[in-house]
């Protein structure tokens, strides 16, 4: 994967789904404290947590300062106002400070400092650092040059976008041009040119994959018995354009699993396919995980589902986890879903309908079922 949502606890839970050894949520904030990761505005101008070493390229590839400048104007701040506030904020944020602490350090701060901080983050001169806990999104801010020890490397956007296209092909492939344009928040032509710069291998149905991954793709097999509780805005369920989501969710379930602007809800994946949704509530060391399934799982999958729920509860630092499980009606299948891409994972005779470009060098319904446990158990990974 390339990055996870910066939103807590979504981002940490995305990491947990892939790295079950992250026993506590504090481990995620630890990678920020050790400067191994950074929170930056990235794809579709959403804030992501990404590795520090790739942050400059991701920031350059997805940079679009227009929305941030518009927000400054709506706040009544002109270019000179922003320039002065920018300088003061950088002086105030020599080490991580809260928004209130930065506000108090400014001589004439605006009532709402968010547009200024967001614009500075889009430039890469300011970073979001730590939050008080894994469920909080009250981040501190620090000047990049002071926190990291150097400024973000300046990379031409076209070059950085071509590099990002290669990373996307490997992390999410097989994909289409439309998938990458949606995920990156780029204009279709810019996204397509970036993918073409990687000279991807064509598959059937307009799908493509990085050439270095062809052999690995041919050897993939279904993950039998695997259950995943993916959080809201998970990087996998947010990785494809609406038409590309048939690989893991039927079209009849899209309105149940995505909101009106295309944000993925917390989803239950069983053997790679969406079978329900989930949520959690609670405080302190007690947490309730509510699971709504469209179908009843067999004993083996039921055990894996409960283990996964306990793993999530323990990660959120709860010692008492209650699971509420409910069977819900599956929406009527009014239209057949598009054939899943697995059918297309074979060499296609036709190449994607795009012109070839020069390859560029890239930078480096029943009552709820309840179970209770006094402590979280380790997840069984079949």
- How far is 215 from 282, CA to CA, in rounded Å? 46
User: In the predicted model, what is the mean pLDDT of residues 176-183?
Assistant: 97
More confident residue, 362 or 88: 88
Check pLDDT > 90 for residue 88.
Answer: yes
* Confidence grade of residue 32 (pLDDT, cut at 50, 70, 90): confident
Check pLDDT > 80 for residue 380.
Answer: no
- Tens digits of per-residue pLDDT, 217-242? 888 887 778 899 999 999 999 999 99
User: In the predicted model, what is the mean pLDDT of residues 149-155?
Assistant: 92
More confident residue, 8 or 164: 164
Helices within 156-259 (DSSP H only) = 157-172, 177-184, 188-196, 214-218, 254-257
* Confidence grade of residue 321 (pLDDT, cut at 50, 70, 90): very high
Burial class (CB in 10 A: 0-12, 13-18, 19+), 106: middle
> What domains are defined for the chain?
4-148 (no CATH), 159-220 (1.10.10), 227-329+368-373 (no CATH)
Residue 317: per-residue pLDDT:
84
- How far is 174 from 65, CA to CA, in rounded Å? 31
- Tens digits of per-residue pLDDT, 112-125? 999 999 999 999 99
Tell me which of 127-136, 155-164, 258-267 is least confident. 127-136
Residue 333: per-residue pLDDT:
66
More confident residue, 313 or 375: 313
User: In the predicted model, what is the mean pLDDT of residues 370-380?
Assistant: 38
Maximum distance among all alpha carbons in the chain? 66
Check pLDDT > 60 for residue 339.
Answer: no
The percentage of residues in the chain with a pLDDT greater than 70, rounded to a whole number, is 85
Tell me which of 168-182, 216-230, 259-273, 298-312 is least confident. 216-230
């Amino acid at each position: 994967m390339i990055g996870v949502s910066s939103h807590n606890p979504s981002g940490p839970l995305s990491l947990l789904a892939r790295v079950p050894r992250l026993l506590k949520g504090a481990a995620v904030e630890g990678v920020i404290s050790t400067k191994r990761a950074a929170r930056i505005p990235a794809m579709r101008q959403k804030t992501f947590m990404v590795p520090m070493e790739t942050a400059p390229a991701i920031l350059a590839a997805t940079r679009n300062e227009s929305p941030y400048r518009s927000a400054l104007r709506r706040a009544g701040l002109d270019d000179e106002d922003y320039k002065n506030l920018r300088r003061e904020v950088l002086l105030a944020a020599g080490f991580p400070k809260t928004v209130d602490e930065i506000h108090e350090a400014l001589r004439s701060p605006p009532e709402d400092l968010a547009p200024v901080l967001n614009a500075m983050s889009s430039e890469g001169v300011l970073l979001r650092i730590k939050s008080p806990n894994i469920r909080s999104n009250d981040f501190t801010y620090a000047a990049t040059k002071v926190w990291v020890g150097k400024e973000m490397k300046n990379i031409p956007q076209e070059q950085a976008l071509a590099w990002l296209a290669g990373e996307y092909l490997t992390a999410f492939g097989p994909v289409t041009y439309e998938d990458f344009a949606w995920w990156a928040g780029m204009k279709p032509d810019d996204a397509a040119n970036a993918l073409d710069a990687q000279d991807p291998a064509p598959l059937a149905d307009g799908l493509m994959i990085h050439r270095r991954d062809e052999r690995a793709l041919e050897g993939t097999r279904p993950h039998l018995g695997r259950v995943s509780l993916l959080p809201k805005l998970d990087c996998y369920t947010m990785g494809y354009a609406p038409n590309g989501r048939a690989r893991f969710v039927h079209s009849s379930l899209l309105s149940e699993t995505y909101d009106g602007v295309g944000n993925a809800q917390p989803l239950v994946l069983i053997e790679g396919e969406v079978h329900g949704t989930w949520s959690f509530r609670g405080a302190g060391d007690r947490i309730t995980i509510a699971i709504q399934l469209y179908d009843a799982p067999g004993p083996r999958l039921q055990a894996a589902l409960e283990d996964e729920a306990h793993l999530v509860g323990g990660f959120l630092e709860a010692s008492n986890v209650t699971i509420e499980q409910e069977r819900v009606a599956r929406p009527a299948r009014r239209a057949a879903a598009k054939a899943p891409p697995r059918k297309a994972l074979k060499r296609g005779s036709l190449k994607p309908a795009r012109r070839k470009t020069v390859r560029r060098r890239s930078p480096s319904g029943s009552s709820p079922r309840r179970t209770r446990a006094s402590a979280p158990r380790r997840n069984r990974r079949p």
